[in-house]
Amino acid sequence: MATSVSPCASAAWAVSGLGLAEPVLHFLDMLALATTPCALISLGAFLAEKRGMGQASPWPLVGLKLE
């Protein structure tokens, strides 16, 4: 039930033509600009993590993702 409320509410908001307040838009812009650096830091932390000998290397997956 809760998963269908959000798409319906956002569709109703889009159809209504109402905009968002300027501070909300500014906050969302700042949030969007922060996603790439956060993703790069978390990827670097994951790749720098010490792993035991039994775990596979992430490098083949990284190579596939970058292609």
pLDDT mean across residues, the chain: 85
pTM of the model: 0.50
Residue 26 pLDDT grade (very low, low, confident, very high; cuts 50, 70, 90)? very high
Instruction: Provide the residue ranges of all domains of the chain, joining segments of one domain with +.
Output: 12-37
Q: Does position 39 have pLDDT exceeding 70, yes or no?
A: yes
Is 22 a residue whose pLDDT tops 90? yes
pLDDT of amino acid 62: 82
45-65-61-49 Cα dihedral, nearest 10 degrees = 0
